Structure 1
Amino acid sequence: MKHAVIYARVSTQRQADDGVSMESQIEQCRIKARALGSEVVEVFRDDGVSGRTDKRPGFQAALAYCAAHRVSHLVCWSTSRFGRNLEEALKNTKQLLEWGTRAAYVHQDIDLDTDAGWMLGVMTGMMDEIYSRNVARDTLRSMITASRDGFFVGGRAPFGYQIDKVGKRSKLGLHEDHAAIVRKMYELALNESLGAQSVALRMNAAGLLRNGKTWSKNSVMLILKNPSYMGVRLFNQIKFKTRENKPAEEVVQVASHPAIVSKEDFEKVQAMMKERSPHEVGGTAKSCFVFTGLLTCGICGQALQITNGTGRNGSLYNYYGCLAHKKGKVRCSLRNFPAEKFDGWMIDELLDKVLTVEVAKQVIDSIHANAGKWAEEREMRRKALVKEMREAEGKSEKIFEAIETLGKDTPNMKRLLERLDEYRLVVDNVTQALDDLEKKEAPDYRQVNIDPEMAAATIQRVIRACPDPKQLRMLMTTFVKQINVSNASVVVEYREDALLRRPTPTVLNGIGWLLDLGSNQGPTD
């Protein structure tokens, strides 16, 4: 069972901030944790503390607990409870990821692996990239140089190899027994044309195991696809932000250690596996539209749904429509409107109204203004981590005292020893977190200049070019609360905690996409 912690806060001005009391926040967070498959082990809270400061003892204690216990999720109501603004929330989210903990929000769905981090995540990423580009390039160059000199530059040694110390540095050397197993796998794949599943069965039957464990299809596949066995190390393979593979011409291949199989044999195995893999035939993914779930009827208040209609030429079209009559209500007078045309138009309108040059400048100014606060925040975080460590050390000391006093007659000795191991792990985790915190140097964003016009235009272009409607919908839901559509206007209501300025509804009149539809607009039930 995965473990989660909850963080909840209410402000001094309104103990039931936005109508959400502390108890309600915690209950909804428990529901969210269950949906994530996690058991809540701790609840942290800040009563009567403004979200405009990181001087929140409950929040800092929650972060320290995550560092010490490496729980799966930290759950809170929204980003407004998680940081001074969305930028701060994203920064804290990245810190949690370094400890193996994901932030989860009841009120929003922000995923740093997608575009749903919205504008601030993108812009902070742009600044990070500008700031660190030279550092990354120098680091990559030094790693390539070290590998060419035969040194091991980090990571886990592939099966078949071992890490040999050479002074203060390391090299990959052959683990002869394991290397023989790898060679046997390639021999079976090449000479007997066996697939990964058959190779696994043959190896298990022969007792050629991996540290006493049987082989599976996937574990064999990892061996057969790993270029390390040619004696090479690959660099610059993955795009840091998207985790996508880079083009082959950008990948750097360095001969760095002894080979277990020849380059020729490795490439033959790759060709055989590619030929054997199934090819996708036909079929399309289930279609969806960007604003599904966000649209309501401005006439009767019902949610709008996707329906079908037939054009004059007999073609089938998708529409947003009010289907109040399906719920036993009187048929609504709202006209159906084409879904694809509306999606494109609405995206353009939202970007023009929300992602403006003025807002981009606000974001940049906000990031610059917060740049000098990092040292102060690091000190608060360090104190919270030290407190977590001292508590674990104090509990360990009490157990030691009990054992020293009672000796072998100490009750529940087995459980006490298990707790000692748990507290020792907490101390180790916190020690690592403190060490990382001391080594980490925050980028000085004050030295980074970004043209607001360029930033706004770039992000708009990326969003408009996104081919995945589901991804765009996730993006829109981070700052759009609801869109009310009538026959003559559209009213967009925003989420207050997602924008830098206090949002006011956008009212759009004279809707062009409702005219000249070229169809009968009638629903196909």
Structure 2
Amino acid sequence: MKKQTAIVYARVSTEEQAKNGASLDAQVNVLTQVAEERGWNVRIIREQASGKSMTPRARPLLNVALKELSNGEAQYLLAVRIDRISRNVEEFARLMTISRKQGWAMVLSEMDLDTTTSQGEFMANVQISVAQYERRLIGDRTKAGLAQRKAEGVQLGRRASLPVDIVKRIKQERATGSTLSAIAQGLTDDNVPTAQGGKRWYPSTIKKVLESDIWSKI
């Protein structure tokens, strides 16, 4: 019977780690031992890249590994933790689905997670679900915090800034009967930057200046 092949995937994200090799070597040593204990052939891939994305451009060597797995050249993908493969929950969930369809499995040594078994696959799905729940919980707390600050009158986001003379110009032109569109067009023609540094003024922008509490006393 032909021995099966495991791809040992070791990743670091900083140039210093990639140069001294300490973290990469530690990952490779642990994962190689796992593979050899199971009687698998070992193919080692080392990559220095961020774990934020799994795209071919961001992670070319990981995608080489995935291609070999999809072609049947290897049957297992070994990493020490989920975040060595991806820090994105949705991406990892999609990879789990792909691995089932293509017939290969993952082993994550430090998490004692092994999708070659039904129990391991179940635990992987639990890990993903927990991570998704935590992300949504953080999002909900952030939204609630922002809503509370807004209710307390705290200004959120980047503070708008306009020179006093520009605000006075807008108010004076409006007071003499100029339309919002005319005021906006005049400021655009004179190359006056908006409060956010934009080049073009709009009637809605003029209206916000006129109604804003920030410039109410000017």
TM-score, normalising length: structure 2: 0.50
Higher relative contact order (CA 8 A, sep 6+): 1
TM-score, normalising length: structure 1: 0.22
